[in-house]
């Protein structure tokens, strides 16, 4: 069994899932900010 390839495969998957999670969090954060901005913009004529 080649531990190197197993390790690199699992680490790549881990890094990829972490990147996806960060992107998702950033998207949610930006979405909330955009919604807040729009709500404030609507309230203030």
**pLDDT (tens digit per residue) in 1-45:** 577 787 788 898 999 999 999 999 999 999 999 888 888 877 665
Judge whether 29 lies within some domain: yes
Residue 2 is given by DSSP the state -
Chain centroid to CA 23: how far? Answer: 2
Query: Tokens representing 29?
Result: 């954060």
The predicted model scores a pTM of 0.53
Judge whether 6 lies within some domain: no
Range of the domain at 31: 21-45
Judge whether 43 lies within some domain: yes
């Amino acid at each position: 069994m080649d531990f190197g390839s197993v390790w690199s495969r699992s680490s790549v998957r881990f890094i990829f899932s972490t990147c996806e999670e960060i992107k998702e969090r950033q998207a949610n954060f930006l979405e909330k900010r955009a919604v807040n901005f729009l709500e404030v913009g609507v309230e203030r004529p």
